[in-house]
Amino acid sequence: MGLLRRIEQVQQGTDTQSAGTPARVQSPAAPTREQVGGREAYLTNVRARILDQVISVSDSLLDAAGPAGLHSKIEAIVEQIIAANGFTVRREERLALTEDVISEITGFGPIEPLLQDETVTEVMVNGPRQVYIERKGKLIKTNVVFRNDEHVMHIIDRIIAPLGRRIDESSPRVDARLPDGSRVNAIIAPLSLIGPVITVRKFSTHPYTVADLVSFGTATADMFEFLRVCVEARLNIFVSGGTGSGKTTFLNVISSFIPENQRIITIEDAAELQLRQKHVITLEARPANLEGKGEMTIRDLLRNALHMRPDRIIVGECRGGEALDMIQAMTVGHAGSLSTGHANSPPDMLRRLETMILMAGVELPLRAIREQVSSAVDLIVHTARLKDGSRKVIAITEVYGIEEDSILTQDVFAFEQTGIRDGKIEGRLKPTGIRPNFMAKFKEAEIQLPPGEFGIPPEDPEHPDATRRKKGRSAVADTLSLIDASVGYGRAVKAGGMVYVSSMGPVDPDSGQVVAGGIEEQTSQCLRNLKERLEAEGSSLAKVVWANWSLREPTDFEAFNKEWARWFPGDAPVGQGTVMPLLQRRAGFLISIGVIAEA
| Burial state string for 204-243 with b = 16 or more CB within 10 A and e = fewer than 16 | beeebebeebeebbbbbebbbebbbbbbbbbbbbbbbbee
- φ/ψ of residue 201, rounded to 5: -95, 110
Domains of the chain, CATH where assigned = 3-106 (no CATH), 111-201 (3.30.450.370), 481-598 (3.30.1330.40)
Average of per-residue pLDDT values in the chain: 83
The amino acid at residue 238 is F
Give the per-residue pLDDT at 33. Answer: 47
Cβ atoms within 10 A of the Cβ of 474, count? 13
Q: What SS3 state is found at 411?
A: strand
Give the per-residue pLDDT at 57. Answer: 58
Residue 224 to residue 492: CA distance in whole angstroms: 47
Burial class (CB in 10 A: 0-12, 13-18, 19+), 438: buried
Residue 473 to residue 373: CA distance in whole angstroms: 10
Give the per-residue pLDDT at 486. Answer: 58
DSSP E strand boundaries for 65-209: 120-126, 131-135, 138-141, 173-177, 183-187, 197-201
Q: Mutual orientation of helices 322-331 and 366-376 as an angle, nearest 10°?
A: 50
Give the per-residue pLDDT at 469. Answer: 47
**CA-based nearest residue to 210, from 238, 231, 192:** 231
Mean of pLDDT values over 157-185:
84
Give the per-residue pLDDT at 4. Answer: 47
Give the per-residue pLDDT at 583. Answer: 77
Give the per-residue pLDDT at 301. Answer: 93
Expressed in percent and rounded to 5, the helix, strand and coil fractions of the chain are 35, 25, 40
Give the per-residue pLDDT at 29. Answer: 52
Q: What angle do CA 483, 488, 494 make, to 5 degrees?
A: 135
Mean of pLDDT values over 92-107:
77
Residue 531 to residue 447: CA distance in whole angstroms: 53
Q: Identify the band that residue 2 occupies on the pLDDT scale cut at 50, 70 and 90.
A: very low
pLDDT at position 337 over 90 = yes
Q: What SS3 state is found at 219?
A: coil
Mean of pLDDT values over 27-34:
49
Tell how strand 131-135 and strand 498-504 pair up: unpaired
| Burial state string for 284-296 with b = 16 or more CB within 10 A and e = fewer than 16 | bbebeeeeeeeee
First to last CA, the chain: 108
The amino acid at residue 267 is I
Give the per-residue pLDDT at 63. Answer: 53
pLDDT at position 10 over 80 = no
- φ/ψ of residue 480, rounded to 5: -70, -15
User: Is the model more confident about 547 or about 10?
Assistant: 547
Residue 382 to residue 240: CA distance in whole angstroms: 5
pLDDT at position 217 over 50 = yes
Largest pairwise CA distance in the chain: 113
Give the per-residue pLDDT at 28. Answer: 45
**CA-based nearest residue to 152, from 99, 194, 212, 116:** 194
126 Rama class: left (phi>0) / alpha (psi -120 to 50) / beta: beta
Give the per-residue pLDDT at 262. Answer: 94
Mean of pLDDT values over 528-532:
93
Q: Model confidence over 362-393: pLDDT tens digits?
A: 888 888 899 999 999 999 999 999 988 889 99
Give the per-residue pLDDT at 191. Answer: 94
**CA-based nearest residue to 110, from 155, 170, 46, 159:** 155
pLDDT at position 313 over 80 = yes
Q: What angle do CA 376, 225, 341 make, to 5 degrees?
A: 40
Q: Identify the band that residue 461 occupies on the pLDDT scale cut at 50, 70 and 90.
A: low
| Burial state string for 543-575 with b = 16 or more CB within 10 A and e = fewer than 16 | bbeebbbbbbeeebeebbeebbeebbeeeebeb
Burial class (CB in 10 A: 0-12, 13-18, 19+), 262: middle
User: Is the model more confident about 592 or about 286?
Assistant: 592
pLDDT at position 462 over 80 = no
Point out the least confidently predicted range of 50-64, 298-312, 345-359: 50-64
User: Is the model more confident about 397 or about 465?
Assistant: 397
Give the per-residue pLDDT at 25. Answer: 37
pLDDT at position 296 over 80 = yes
Q: Model confidence over 476-515: pLDDT tens digits?
A: 444 344 444 457 778 889 988 999 998 899 998 888 888 8
**pTM of this prediction?**
0.67
Q: Model confidence over 105-163: pLDDT tens digits?
A: 777 888 988 988 888 989 999 999 999 999 988 899 998 888 889 889 988 988 888 77
**Spatial contact of 272 and 475, defined as CB atoms under 8 Å apart:** no
H or E element, residue 106 = helix 91-106
Burial class (CB in 10 A: 0-12, 13-18, 19+), 54: buried
Q: How many CA atoms lie within 13 A of 476 on its CB side?
A: 13
**CA-based nearest residue to 167, from 295, 176, 56:** 176
Q: What SS3 state is found at 441?
A: helix
Q: Identify the band that residue 473 occupies on the pLDDT scale cut at 50, 70 and 90.
A: very low
Cβ atoms within 10 A of the Cβ of 515, count? 17
Point out the least confidently predicted range of 20-24, 169-173, 210-214, 270-274: 20-24
Residue 16 to residue 326: CA distance in whole angstroms: 59
Mean of pLDDT values over 556-560:
91
Q: Mutual orientation of helices 39-55 and 58-85 as an angle, nearest 10°?
A: 140
DSSP state of 545: E
Tell how strand 391-403 and strand 406-421 pair up: antiparallel
